Structure 1
Amino acid sequence: MVDDAGRDGTSDETDSESRDAVPPSSYALVVLGAVSYLLLMANWFALAAFLEPIARQLGLSDTQAGALVGAVPLTYVPLSLLSGLALDRIGARRGIALAVGIFGVAQLLRSATTGFVGMLATTVLFAVGATGITFGLPKLVASVFPSRLLGTMSTVYILGSYAGTATAYSVGRAILGPELGGWRPTFRVLAAAALAFLVVWLPVAAWHARRHGTPYGGDAGSDFALGSLRADVAQVFSHRVMGLLVVVGTVYLLLGHSLQGWLPTLAGARGATPARAATVATLFVVGQAAGTVVVPPLSDRMGRRREAVVACGVAALLGVAGLAVGGGVLAASVAAMVVGTGVGGVSPLVRAIPTEIDEIGPALTATAVSLVFAVGELGGFFGPFLVGGLRDLTGSFVPGLAVLAVGALAMIAAGMRLPEV
């Protein structure tokens, strides 16, 4: 079996390319995987989209509402590694199906909750399913695509996640909420859409598994014995490149969560109207999408991962600096686009690079990516907290943005030390 083009040691280029050919159904499977990510994010951010009416109806305090919004990313910290280890054993296709079933049922239960404790419990259950999509999709791509296409195909499902976030607000809050009469029926419809997706995914995934299997590896023969689990964890934790990727992933989540949460307020502090402030936040997402579309495929074509990560770090640093020193809404808009490009560009790379490490590969991709998120979500949780806390202390966003800039510098430094895997 050939791991990727040019690694089989033969001089027959035509034979290598033929063995490296990807069946069209593998592309279709990843597109369906992108739909699963869309459904996940639409259900995930429906809570944030309807937070005000939910808090009012359930009688939540601001602290309780904030805890619900942060519950999913915070649950990733203790749960990620366990989820990754499980996915490396049961396989991506079955893991994704199980994940969709879990978050679909959790969303259905969330629609019926009557208090904070019930909403928190069902949101934590939702997070269990969410990890299966976050780590299952990188494993799926690693299992059915050669390394020359990993960045490009990772872009496909990342775009699905952006579409899902937009759907939560533009369809869920703006259309379904008013039409259906509130957040509870909207949650039920979104949950039903996720569960209905399984009617398509299950037969397609089963057929693909029978017909094509996992041509690039990935369905490890390891069991759930404690010794096997320890060996996999030790192999991932001890690898130097994974340590560098944890730094990159932590900064990626630090920047993403912090700016998504605070950009509208920052723009408002610069004199923007609510509509213009929302536009600045939207431009950050547009920048993310642009970076996701451009950077990973370009990295695939050039065979340069290290330079791509460094370039994303530089873009993030310039964008954060622009937010700190820019004095108006226009400057904030341009800076948001620039930093978004860096954040969006590095997002697929932290999921794709582990597969290309010889000691990890497709078999341990889910475990490796889960390590990045297990540590990285601490940055995702504490980043917004630090930006807000420093503003309370100083009355300015500049100290918080300085913290984000230090993070961008750390991404650049880690990227420069990455080997070309």
Structure 2
Amino acid sequence: MATPQQNIPNQDIPLYGRYRLVMAILVLAGHLSVGLNIFAVSPLLTLAIDDYDINRTTAGLLVAMPLLVAAAFGLPSGILIARIGLRRSFMIGWAAIALVSLSGFAPNFITLLLLRSAIGVGFAFLLTGTGPLLMQWFRPKEVTVMNALTTAFLSLGIALSVATATPLSEIIDWQMALTIFALPGIVGLVAWIVSGRATDGTPMNSGGISLHEVGLVLRNRAVVLLLVADAGILVQYSAFAGWLPTFYNEDRGISLSQAGFITGMLPFVGVFAVLAGGAIALRVTSARTLFISSGVLAVAGGLGAFLLPSPAWIYPAVVILGIGSWLYVPTLLTLPMQMAGMTPEKVAVVWGSLLTFSGFAMFVAPILVGVLRDVTGSFFPGLAICATASWALLIAGFLLPGNVKEPRHEPHSQ
């Protein structure tokens, strides 16, 4: 997905013609690599609990810690990129993902947790750097296409890892399975060093924004609704992605392999849902309509995913949940750019806030489910609370001001 800096002016930036295809491949590969690693451990938590003799709360950190690190590095990485340049920023991101390939050699839980935390660093630098890179290499319409594709590739990576982690762990050690998912990071790092380019001759906007202006942006009603809506959906999504495999195995008697496959449908469906959401957003101008529709699907699918008793009902519920969790994303990312009075710097604040707020929400959710499971002996309280959070998107759709957008004007060619 693109990041706040996609609004940074890119005047006088040279076009590199067909080499844009190389840059597109590198950017998409980066998002795929992040997706492959961010939730790969979730179907393997039962194995981690047994091997390390830890409780579910502690095991939940393997899922939650990368999200916390990503949230903590979100805005700082956006500021740092302007200082160190895109080439170094992407190198840091790729190197962080490559570091996770040492998971198979981790001697204890703490070491594995630290390695998993590196994913958050890679997440922040790769995603935050994507925006300005796209603006340097692609025309406006191409940037829109790339935004949809990067989100789809991120979702595809999540789907592949969650669906294949358990079968892979039956062939090799489960920690080594995590190493396999991180190997593309090594390939990507080498590919970026060899082929990655940045138009270093054109500096990014470093004018900044005052703390007073930041406060005004974050007090904007529409912005607050966007932050709450996205955080609410991702509370449910991260909790379910992290714990549904274990819940299905322990409470529904479903094998870990099948449970991982079912949960892997969430991001797999998301690949198509986010592309559909982008196409729909071009035709349906009402953000409220898209938020409400997506919210209804997310709420209904979320409840069904853990309340329905058999796989015959669980499968369609998870599909509906996947659609609702991704359909609104293109509108969410575009809407801040369409708000009256928004400058590139202000949009960057909104995007950075989305990463930070949603990242912290995604960090807390899996831990909450694990804690309540240990305390109550049941997954239902934690999953129910996280499912309730998803109502935020539906409510935000009703509360979103009808005049949140301003008329869009195409810039004149210089």
Quickly say closer, same or farther: Cα 1:413–1:371, change in 2 above 3 A.
same
**Could you tell me how far apart the structure 1 residues matched to 2:335 and 2:301 are?**
24
**Contact 1:350–1:369 (8 Å) recurs in 2:** no
Report the Cα offset of residue 241 of structure 1: 3.1
Letter in 2 for 1:374: T
Residue 300 of structure 2 corresponds to residue 294 of structure 1: no
- 1:95 counterpart residue number: 89
Report the Cα offset of residue 299 of structure 1: 0.6
- 2:357 counterpart residue number: 375
Letter in 1 for 2:225: L
**Could you tell me how far apart the structure 1 residues matched to 2:121 and 2:103 are?**
14
- 2:151 counterpart residue number: 158
1:38 aligned to 32, 39, 55, which one? 32
**Could you tell me how far apart the structure 2 residues matched to 1:177 and 1:328 are?**
25
Residue 194 of structure 2 corresponds to residue 200 of structure 1: no
Q: Which range is displaced more, 241-250 or 379-388?
A: 379-388
Residue 121 of structure 2 corresponds to residue 128 of structure 1: yes
**Could you tell me how far apart the structure 1 residues matched to 2:405 and 2:390 are?**
21
Quickly say closer, same or farther: Cα 1:420–1:164, change in 2 above 3 A.
same
Letter in 2 for 1:420: K
Unpaired stretches in structure 2, ≥5 consecutive residues: 1-14, 407-414
Match runs of 1:70-149 below 5 Å: 70-87=64-81, 90=84, 94-104=88-98, 106-108=99-101, 110-141=103-134
Q: Which range is displaced more, 124-133 or 363-372?
A: 363-372
Quickly say closer, same or farther: Cα 1:150–1:182, change in 2 above 3 A.
same
**Contact 2:96–2:122 (8 Å) recurs in 1:** yes
**Could you tell me how far apart the structure 1 residues matched to 2:374 and 2:113 are?**
27
Letter in 1 for 2:267: V
Letter in 2 for 1:333: Y
**Contact 1:154–1:352 (8 Å) recurs in 2:** no
**Contact 1:248–1:410 (8 Å) recurs in 2:** yes
Q: Which range is displaced more, 247-256 or 273-282?
A: 273-282
Unpaired stretches in structure 1, ≥5 consecutive residues: 1-20
**Could you tell me how far apart the structure 2 residues matched to 1:94 and 1:116 are?**
31
**Could you tell me how far apart the structure 2 residues matched to 1:184 and 1:396 are?**
27
Aligned residues: 387
- 1:18 counterpart residue number: none
Q: Name the SS for the 1:127 alignment partner.
A: helix
Letter in 2 for 1:242: V
Match runs of 1:43-82 below 5 Å: 43-48=37-42, 59=52, 61-62=54-55, 64-82=58-76
**Identical aligned residues as a percent:** 22
**Contact 1:111–1:185 (8 Å) recurs in 2:** yes
Report the Cα offset of residue 69 of structure 1: 3.1
> Pairwise CA RMSD of aligned residues?
4.0
Q: Which range is displaced more, 35-44 or 115-124?
A: 115-124
1:53-99 deviations in whole A, cap 9, x for unaligned? 66777x45235443333211122343322223323555655533321
Quickly say closer, same or farther: Cα 1:290–1:271, change in 2 above 3 A.
same
Residue 414 of structure 2 corresponds to residue 420 of structure 1: no
Quickly say closer, same or farther: Cα 1:377–1:354, change in 2 above 3 A.
same
Match runs of 1:159-174 below 5 Å: 159-168=152-161, 174=167
**Could you tell me how far apart the structure 2 residues matched to 1:222 and 1:27 are?**
31
**Contact 2:336–2:350 (8 Å) recurs in 1:** yes
Letter in 1 for 2:191: V
Report the Cα offset of residue 240 of structure 1: 3.6
Quickly say closer, same or farther: Cα 1:359–1:279, change in 2 above 3 A.
same
Report the Cα offset of residue 325 of structure 1: 5.8
Quickly say closer, same or farther: Cα 1:170–1:406, change in 2 above 3 A.
closer
**Contact 1:89–1:222 (8 Å) recurs in 2:** no
Q: Which range is displaced more, 156-165 or 121-130?
A: 121-130
State the TM-score, normalized to the length of structure 2. 0.75
Report the Cα offset of residue 175 of structure 1: 5.2
State the TM-score, normalized to the length of structure 1. 0.74
Quickly say closer, same or farther: Cα 1:358–1:100, change in 2 above 3 A.
farther
Report the Cα offset of residue 329 of structure 1: 2.9
Report the Cα offset of residue 24 of structure 1: 6.0
**Could you tell me how far apart the structure 2 residues matched to 1:265 and 1:52 are?**
7
- 1:319 counterpart residue number: 301
1:114-173 deviations in whole A, cap 9, x for unaligned? 334433333334422221123333454466566666654322112222332344456676
Quickly say closer, same or farther: Cα 1:320–1:64, change in 2 above 3 A.
closer
Q: Name the SS for the 1:209 alignment partner.
A: coil
Report the Cα offset of residue 197 of structure 1: 1.7
- 2:409 counterpart residue number: none
Letter in 2 for 1:136: G
Report the Cα offset of residue 301 of structure 1: 4.0
1:380-407 deviations in whole A, cap 9, x for unaligned? 2333344455567777666555534542
Report the Cα offset of residue 420 of structure 1: 2.9
**Contact 1:316–1:339 (8 Å) recurs in 2:** yes
Q: Name the SS for the 1:114 alignment partner.
A: coil
**Could you tell me how far apart the structure 1 residues matched to 2:58 and 2:365 are?**
19
Report the Cα offset of residue 319 of structure 1: 1.6
**Could you tell me how far apart the structure 2 residues matched to 1:102 and 1:56 are?**
28
Letter in 2 for 1:316: A
1:163-192 deviations in whole A, cap 9, x for unaligned? 3234445667645984xx646766666555
Report the Cα offset of residue 250 of structure 1: 0.4
**Contact 2:306–2:383 (8 Å) recurs in 1:** yes
Letter in 1 for 2:32: L
Q: Name the SS for the 1:381 alignment partner.
A: helix
**Could you tell me how far apart the structure 1 residues matched to 2:159 and 2:338 are?**
31
**Could you tell me how far apart the structure 2 residues matched to 1:352 and 1:31 are?**
23
- 1:221 counterpart residue number: 206
